[in-house]
């Protein structure tokens, strides 16, 4: 029985990028998380920023 949360014939979760290959997905996920972390750190280093502001600014 197919899982509605994964792509057909794959163990990769359905994602916004449409990546269906596991290795490509892990690479894309690492790049995406790294970019969000850099953005969050740069926001935090500016004036008085809260975690909520950081989360709001990195939302896709």
Q: Which residue ranges make up each domain of the chain?
A: 22-57
Whether pTM > 0.85 for this model: the answer is: no
* 3 touches 12 (CB < 8 A): no
pLDDT of 2 strictly over 80: no
Which has the higher per-residue pLDDT, 28 or 1? Answer: 28
* 53 touches 47 (CB < 8 A): no
How confident is the model at residue 50, as a pLDDT?
66
* 14 touches 5 (CB < 8 A): yes
Give the model's confidence band at 14: pLDDT under 50 very low, under 70 low, under 90 confident, else very high. Answer: very high
Residue 11's closest CA among 2, 33, 30? Answer: 2
Across the strands, what pairs with 13?
6
Determine whether 46 is exposed, middle or buried from the number of CB atoms within 10 Å of its CB (0-12, 13-18, 19+). Answer: exposed
pLDDT digits (tens, 9 = 90+) for 18-55: 999 999 999 998 988 888 887 776 665 555 566 666 66
């Amino acid at each position: 029985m197919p899982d509605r949360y994964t792509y057909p014939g794959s163990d990769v979760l359905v994602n916004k990028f449409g990546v269906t290959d596991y290795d490509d997905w892990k690479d894309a996920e690492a790049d995406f998380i790294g970019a969000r972390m850099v953005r969050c750190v740069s926001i935090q280093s500016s004036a008085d920023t809260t975690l909520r502001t950081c989360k709001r600014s990195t939302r896709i």
